[in-house]
Amino acid sequence: MDTTSPYATPKAEVLSNQEEYGSINILSAKGRIGRLRYIVYTIGITFFCYLIMGGLSGLFAATLSEDSVGLLILPITALGIGAMFFINIVLTIQRCHDFNMSGWLSLILVIPLVPLIFWFIPGTVGANKYGPQSPPNRSGVMIIVIILVMIVVLGILAAIAIPAYQEYLTRAAAAGM
C-alpha cells in the first residue's frame, strides 16, 4: 500500500527547466536584443530625439534673436544626432550578437536600406557566445512595433501623396480659369 499523500510537496525541482534570460541595456554593447525590441528602440529613440531637437530649436527660435538662434540650434542638432547615432550603433551591435555575429557587422548601417536586414534575421534560440537569450516580447512591444511601422509607412505615403495632390490642385485651378 502506497502511503504518500497526494497533497505532499513535490520532490522534484519545478524551476530546473526554466531558461535564463539576459537583461536589456540600451547603453551597452554587451548582450543581446531581439528583433521587435530592436525595431521599437531604434525607431522610438530616433523619433524622441527628433522631437526633443525640434522642440528645443523651436523654443530658442521663438525666444532669441535671429543672430543667436543659429549658434544654439547647431549644437543642439549635433548633440541629438550624436546621441541617436551612438544608441543606434549600440543597439545594432546587440542585434548582431542576437544572431551570433560580431558587432562589426553593424558597420553596414552606413549603406542605405541594407540595415533593414536586422529587422528580418531571426535570433539564436537559447544562449550563444554573446550571452543568454533576450527576454520574450510582451504584447505591448508588439503593439508598439505595429504602431511605429504604421507611422513610418504613413509618413512615406504622405510625403508622396501631399505634393502630388498639391500639383493636382494647381493643374485643376489652371484648367478651371
Average pLDDT over residues 50-57: 90
In contact, 144 and 44? CB cutoff 8 Å: yes
Rounded to 5 degrees, φ, ψ at 128 are: -130, -170
Domain locations in the chain as residue ranges:
24-135, 138-177
Q: How far apart are the first and last CA of the chain?
A: 103
pTM tops 0.85: no
Phi then psi for residue 164, to 5 deg, are -65, -40
Length of the chain counted residue by residue: 177
CA 72 – CA 78 distance, rounded (Å)? 10
pLDDT confidence band for 2 (50 / 70 / 90): low
In this predicted structure, what is the pLDDT of residue 15? 57
Q: 92 and 109 in contact (C-beta within 8 Å)? A: yes
Top-confidence residue, 109 or 10: 109
Give pLDDT tens digits for 125-161.
888 999 898 888 888 888 988 898 898 899 999 999 9
The mean of the pLDDT values for the chain is: 86
Residue 61 has what pLDDT? 81
Measured between alpha carbons, how far is 32 from 97 in angstroms, rounded to an integer? 5
In this prediction, what percent of the chain has a pLDDT beyond 90? Answer: 33
